[in-house]
C-alpha cells in the first residue's frame, strides 16, 4: 500500500509523509476488520489542489478522515480543514449531494476526548465535525452509521464516476487558472444552462480570426453580477502568459482591491506550493512573478503615456469592469492634477483603444461589462467605449451581444448609432445570463434587480422560487445578524459585513465607513486575525467588495437609500444632516452601490435595517421603517 501511494504521489515525499501513511494504514487495518466498504487514501478533490487523507464509503455514509499524526489537540483550523473537504463533496460532487457525510478529525496522540456526534441545524446530512482518538474511532464509525440506518447503501462504482462540478470563488479560480487549469476544468456544466466555456470559445475565435486576418477587434462581454465575466478574462489571460507568444495577453482592472487581493492570493499560494517542494521563496519574489499576469489598468495607461508611439507588448488586452472607465472630464482632470498633462482631451476608453491601435497588424480588446455597476464619479459606462469607436475607430470590428441594449448597460442609444457601422457582429454567447456566484440559486441577481426596480410582485415570485436553497433574512438588530452569520457558516466559509460608502449614520452601531480597511487582510486572512472579515468589526463598502464575494453576507442598510411609495430616495450625510442627492448620475451610483452589496453572497445573506432613534434627528425611525416594511412585504423572513 505504501508503494502504491508513493508511486501515485506527484510531489517529493518527505519522511514525515511516509511515517504518516504507515500510521494511518496500521490504524485502519485494525479499525476496519470485519467491515465492508471502500477506502481511498489521498483522495484528490479534482482541479482545486486539495487532498483528503482518507475517504471511507461504509454503508450509507461517506466518512472523511483527517489524521493529525502525533498531535494531542484538536485545533480549530484542523476541524475547519476536514469540514471544508466535506463541504466540497456536498456542494460540488454530484454523487455525494444526497449522502450522509461525516467529517472526522483524528489526533493520534490524544487520549482524552469524548466524541460528540450530531447533525447540523441545516439538515443537509452533513454532520458537525467529530473529534476522535484512535481507540474510539471504531465507536465513532458505529455511531455515525446509526444516523443513516434507513438510507440506501452507497454504490462505490457509481460514486467514483460522479462528476465534480465546482463553483469556485474568483480567488480560487485565479489560483487554479494560474496553475494551468482551464475554465472548463473549474466550472460546472449543465445542459439546460449557458456555459461560460462557449463565451471563452467565442473570444478565442475573435482573437484567432483577428490575428489571421490582420484586423483589429473589440468584444463586449456582458453578464449579471457573479456570472463569470472576470473568470472569462482571467482564463484568456492565463492561456497566453509567454511574452514570446504572438497572442500575448494581459488582464487589466481598475478595481484596485481586486488586483491587490488576487496578486497577494497568488503570491501566498506560490510560496506554499514551493514550500511543499522544500524550496523557500521570498514574498517579494513571489509577488513579482504574478505582477505581469494581473495589472492595474491605470499602470498600463501610464506606461502607454510614456512613449505614445510604441505599441504595448500585448496584442490582446482584457479590461475587467470596463463600464467603470473614466469619461472625458474625469480623465482630463486626473491627467492635469496627477500627471501634469494639460489639455488631455480624450476619455479613458478612447485612449485605451488608441494604445492597442498602435499595433501595425492586429489587436483585440475584450471589455468585460457588468450592468448597473457604475458606482463612482466619472465612470463613463459602456456607452463611452462605443462612442469612441464611432468617433475615432470606424475600422475596428465590433462583437457584441444583443443584451447590451438592456437599460442597465446604458448603451441602448449608442447601439442605435452602430446600425450604420459595417463591422458589427451579434453573438449571443457574449452574454452571461446566469450567476455562478450564488451556486445555491442562480437567480439572486434577478431578485436584487427586481427589488431595486420596485417590482414587488416579481421579487415575491423570485424569492419564493429560492425556497431554502439560498436563505435571505432581515432583522432590526446587528447583534442578531452577527449570530445568524456565524451559525450559518461552516469550516472556513467566509462571512462579513458590507455597507454603503455613504452609510455615515451607522456609527452608533460601531460601523464607521470613513475608517478604511485593507481589503487584502479583510478577504484573505483567517479567523484569528482581527483585521479579517470574520471578526465582524471592520466593514467592506461597494468599492472594496466589487468583483469579489463572500459565502455569507450581512448588508447593513443606512438612511442614505430609503424606500418610499414614490420611489427610492437618495441622500448624502453632510456635516450634521442628511441632504438630498438630486443629480441623476449620483442617484444611479447610490442605487448601483446597493446592487453591488446585495449580490456579494454565495450562499445567503442577512439584511439589517436599524430601528433608528426617535431622539436622534439624523436617525429618525421614519428614515428606516419603510425600507424594512418593503423588504418584509417582498417576503424576507424576519429574525
Check whether domain 183-254+297-432 has CATH 3.40.50, yes or no: yes
Pick the more confident residue, 241 or 156. 156
pLDDT digits (tens, 9 = 90+) for 74-99: 999 999 999 999 999 998 898 998 89
**Would you tell me how many other CB atoms lie within 10 Å of the CB of residue 581?**
19
pTM above 0.95, yes or no: no
pLDDT of residue 281: 85
Average pLDDT over residues 593-604: 95
* Residue of 374, 382, 381, 375 whose CA lies nearest to 400: 382
E strand or H helix at 390? helix 383-392
E strand or H helix at 573? strand 569-574
Cβ burial of 405 (10 Å; 0-12, 13-18, 19+) is middle
pLDDT digits (tens, 9 = 90+) for 254-277: 889 999 999 999 899 888 878 777
* CATH 3.40.1350 domain residues, the chain: 2-161
100-107 vs 424-426, strand pairing mode: unpaired
* DSSP at 404: G
Q: Give one DSSP letter per residue of 594-636, joined into a string.
A: HHHHTT-EEEEEEEE-----TT-GGG-HHHHHHHHHHHHHHTP
Helices assigned H by DSSP within 166-251: 170-178, 196-213, 229-239
pLDDT of residue 190: 47
Distance of CA 346 to the CA centre of its chain: 33
Pick the more confident residue, 574 or 119. 574
pLDDT digits (tens, 9 = 90+) for 504-535: 999 999 999 998 899 999 999 999 999 999 99
* Residue of 99, 316, 354 whose CA lies nearest to 219: 316
**Which residues in 293-449 belong to E strands, given as ranges?**
294-296, 316-320, 363-370, 397-400, 424-426, 431-432
Helices assigned H by DSSP within 467-604: 478-488, 519-524, 542-545, 584-597
3-state secondary structure of 32: coil
The C-alpha atoms of residue 401 and residue 352 are separated, in whole angstroms, by: 21
CB–CB of 390/417 below 8 Å? yes
Cβ burial of 224 (10 Å; 0-12, 13-18, 19+) is buried
Query: Taking each helix axis from N to C terminus, what angle separates 196-213 and 229-239, rounded to the nearest 10 degrees?
Result: 50
Can you say whether residue 9 is alpha, beta or left, with left for phi > 0 and alpha for psi between -120 and 50 degrees? beta
Percent of the chain with pLDDT over 90: 57
- For residue 578 the three cell numbers come to 442628511
E strand or H helix at 45? strand 38-45
**By mean pLDDT, which of 371-375, 588-592, 597-601 is the weakest?**
371-375
pLDDT of residue 185: 66
Sign, Cα dihedral of 620, 623, 624, 625: positive
pLDDT at 442 > cutoff 80: no
pLDDT digits (tens, 9 = 90+) for 372-391: 666 677 777 778 888 889 88
CB–CB of 553/525 below 8 Å? no
Average pLDDT over residues 345-354: 92
pLDDT of residue 191: 38
The C-alpha atoms of residue 536 and residue 491 are separated, in whole angstroms, by: 17
Percent of the chain with pLDDT over 70: 91
Q: Give one DSSP letter per residue of 228-277, joined into a string.
A: SHHHHHHHHHHHT--TTSTT-EEEEES-HHHHHHHHHHHHHHHHHHHHHT
Pick the more confident residue, 53 or 180. 53
pLDDT of residue 15: 86
- For residue 10 the three cell numbers come to 506527484
List Cβ neighbours of 196 (8 Å cut-off, separation of 6 or more): 183, 187, 227, 228, 231, 232, 432, 436
**By mean pLDDT, which of 143-147, 434-438, 465-469 is the weakest?**
434-438
Cβ burial of 96 (10 Å; 0-12, 13-18, 19+) is buried
CA angle 175, 181, 183 (to 5 degrees): 95
User: 239 pLDDT band (50/70/90 cuts)?
Assistant: confident
List Cβ neighbours of 356 (8 Å cut-off, separation of 6 or more): 216, 311, 312, 315, 317, 363, 364, 365
On the CB side of 399, CA atoms within 13 Å amount to 24
pLDDT of residue 286: 84
216-223 vs 397-400, strand pairing mode: parallel
pLDDT at 405 > cutoff 70: no
CB–CB of 244/391 below 8 Å? no
List Cβ neighbours of 625 (8 Å cut-off, separation of 6 or more): 612
Length of the chain: 639
φ/ψ (deg, to 5) at 30: -80, -45
Question: For the domain bounded by 2-161, which CATH number is listed?
Answer: 3.40.1350
**Would you tell me how many other CB atoms lie within 10 Å of the CB of residue 524?**
19
List Cβ neighbours of 3 (8 Å cut-off, separation of 6 or more): none
The C-alpha atoms of residue 296 and residue 292 are separated, in whole angstroms, by: 10
pLDDT of residue 193: 47
User: 410 pLDDT band (50/70/90 cuts)?
Assistant: low
Average pLDDT over residues 180-192: 59
Spatial strand order of the sheet with 569-574 comes to 561-562, 569-574, 577-580
pLDDT of residue 575: 93
Average pLDDT over residues 128-144: 94
Cα 636 to Cα 291, 476, 554: the distances in Å are 43, 12, 14
* CATH 3.40.50 domain residues, the chain: 183-254+297-432, 444-638
**By mean pLDDT, which of 100-114, 274-288, 350-364 is the weakest?**
274-288
pLDDT at 324 > cutoff 80: yes
130-132 vs 61-68, strand pairing mode: unpaired
CB–CB of 105/131 below 8 Å? yes
Question: For the domain bounded by 444-638, which CATH number is listed?
Answer: 3.40.50
pLDDT at 629 > cutoff 70: yes
Cα 458 to Cα 2, 73, 211, 446: the distances in Å are 59, 52, 46, 9
Sign, Cα dihedral of 266, 268, 274, 280: positive
pLDDT of residue 560: 98
Mean pLDDT rounded to a whole number for the chain:
88
pLDDT at 588 > cutoff 80: yes
pLDDT digits (tens, 9 = 90+) for 100-132: 999 999 999 998 777 777 766 677 899 999 999
Average pLDDT over residues 237-251: 71
E strand or H helix at 320? strand 316-320
Cα 462 to Cα 111, 226, 443, 635: the distances in Å are 52, 17, 7, 10
pLDDT digits (tens, 9 = 90+) for 527-539: 999 999 999 999 9
CB–CB of 198/429 below 8 Å? yes
Question: Which span out of 55-69, 171-185, 329-343, 397-411 was modeled with the highest average pLDDT?
Answer: 55-69
List Cβ neighbours of 525 (8 Å cut-off, separation of 6 or more): 531, 532
* DSSP at 14: P
Amino acid at each position: 500500500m505504501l508503494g502504491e501511494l508513493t508511486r501515485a504521489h506527484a510531489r517529493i515525499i518527505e519522511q514525515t509523509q511516509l511515517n504518516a501513511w504507515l500510521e494511518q494504514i496500521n490504524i485502519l487495518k485494525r479499525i476496519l476488520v470485519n467491515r465492508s466498504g471502500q477506502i481511498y487514501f489521498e483522495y484528490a478533490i479534482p482541479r482545486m489542489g486539495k487532498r483528503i487523507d482518507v475517504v471511507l464509503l461504509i454503508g450509507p455514509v461517506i466518512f472523511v478522515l483527517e489524521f493529525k499524526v502525533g498531535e494531542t489537540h484538536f485545533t480549530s483550523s484542523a476541524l475547519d480543514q476536514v469540514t471544508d473537504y466535506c463541504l466540497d463533496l456536498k456542494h460540488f460532487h454530484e454523487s455525494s449531494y444526497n449522502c450522509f457525510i461525516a467529517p472526522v478529525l483524528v489526533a493520534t496522540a490524544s487520549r482524552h476526548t469524548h466524541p460528540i456526534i450530531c447533525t447540523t441545524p441545516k439538515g443537509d446530512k452533513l454532520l458537525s465535525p467529530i473529534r476522535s482518538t484512535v481507540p474510539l474511532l471504531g465507536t465513532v464509525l458505529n455511531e455515525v452509521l446509526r444516523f443513516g440506518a434507513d438510507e440506501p447503501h452507497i454504490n462505490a462504482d457509481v460514486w467514483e464516476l460522479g462528476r465534480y462540478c465546482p463553483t469556485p470563488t474568483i480567488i480560487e479560480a485565479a489560483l487554479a487558472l494560474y496553475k494551468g487549469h482551464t475554465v472548463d476544468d473549474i466550472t460546472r456544466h449543465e445542459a439546460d444552462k449557458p456555459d461560460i466555456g462557449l463565451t471563452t470559445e467565442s473570444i478565442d475565435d475573435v482573437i484567432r480570426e483577428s490575428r489571421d486576418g490582420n484586423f483589429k477587434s473589440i468584444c463586449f462581454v456582458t453578464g449579471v453580477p457573479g456570472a463569470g465575466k472576470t473568470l472569462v478574462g482571467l482564463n484568456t489571460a492565463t492561456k497566453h502568459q509567454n511574452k514570446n507568444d504572438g497572442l500575448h495577453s494581459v488582464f487589466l482592472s481598475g478595481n484596485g482591491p481586486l488586483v491587490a487581493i488576487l496578486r497577494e492570493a497568488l503570491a501566498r499560494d506560490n510560496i506554499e506550493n514551493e514550500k511543499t517542494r522544500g524550496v523557500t521563496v521570498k514574498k517579494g519574489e513571489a509577488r513579482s512573478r504574478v505582477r505581469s499576469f494581473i495589472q492595474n489598468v491605470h499602470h498600463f495607461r501610464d506606461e502607454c503615456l510614456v512613449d505614445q508611439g510604441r505599441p504595448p507588448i500585448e496584442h490582446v488586452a482584457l479590461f475587467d469592469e470596463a463600464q467603470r472607465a473614466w469619461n472625458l472630464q474625469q480623465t482630463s482632470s486626473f491627467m492635469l492634477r496627477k500627471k501634469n498633462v494639460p489639455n488631455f482631451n480624450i476619455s479613458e476608453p478612447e485612449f485605451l483603444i488608441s494604445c492597442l491601435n498602435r499595433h501595425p497588424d492586429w489587436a483585440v480588446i475584450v471589455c468585460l461589462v457588468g450592468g448597473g455597476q457604475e458606482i463612482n464619479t466619472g465612470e463613463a459606462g459602456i456607452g463611452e467605449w462605443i462612442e469612441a469607436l464611432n468617433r475615432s475607430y470606424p475600422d475596428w470590428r465590433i462583437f457584441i451581444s444583443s443584451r447590451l441594449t438592456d437599460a442597465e448597460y446604458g448603451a441602448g442609444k449608442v447601439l442605435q448609432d452602430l446600425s450604420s457601422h459595417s463591422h458589427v457582429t451579434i453573438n449571443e454567447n457574449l452574454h452571461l445570463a446566469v450567476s455562478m456566484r450564488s451556486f445555491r440559486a442562480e437567480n439572486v441577481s434577478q431578485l436584487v434587480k427586481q427589488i431595486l426596480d420596485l417590482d414587488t410582485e416579481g421579487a415575491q415570485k423570485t424569492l419564493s422560487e429560492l425556497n431554502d436553497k439560498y436563505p435571505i433574512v432581515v432583522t432590526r438588530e446587528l447583534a442578531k445578524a452577527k449570530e445568524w452569520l456565524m451559525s450559518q457558516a461552516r469550516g472556513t466559509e467566509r462571512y462579513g459585513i458590507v455597507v454603503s460608502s455613504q452609510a455615515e449614520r451607522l456609527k452608533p452601531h460601531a460601523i464607521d465607513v470613513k475608517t478604511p480597511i485593507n481589503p487584502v487582510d479583510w478577504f484573505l486572512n483567517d479567523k484569528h486575525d482581527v483585521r479579517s472579515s470574520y471578526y465582524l468589526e471592520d466593514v467592506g463598502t461597494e468599492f472594496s467588495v466589487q468583483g469579489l464575494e463572500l459565502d455569507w453576507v450581512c448588508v447593513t442598510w443606512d438612511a442614505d437609500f430609503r424606500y418610499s411609495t414614490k420611489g427610492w430616495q437618495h441622500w448624502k450625510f453632510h456635516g450634521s444632516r442628511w441632504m438630498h442627492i438630486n443629480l441623476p448620475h449620483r442617484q444611479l451610483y447610490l442605487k448601483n452601490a446597493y446592487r453591488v452589496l446585495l449580490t456579494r453572497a454565495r450562499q445567503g445573506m442577512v439584511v439589517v435595517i436599524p430601528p433608528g432613534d426617535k431622539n436622534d434627528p439624523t436617525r429618525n425611525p421614519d428614515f428606516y421603517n419603510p425600507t424594512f416594511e418593503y423588504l418584509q412585504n417582498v417576503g424576507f423572513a424576519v429574525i
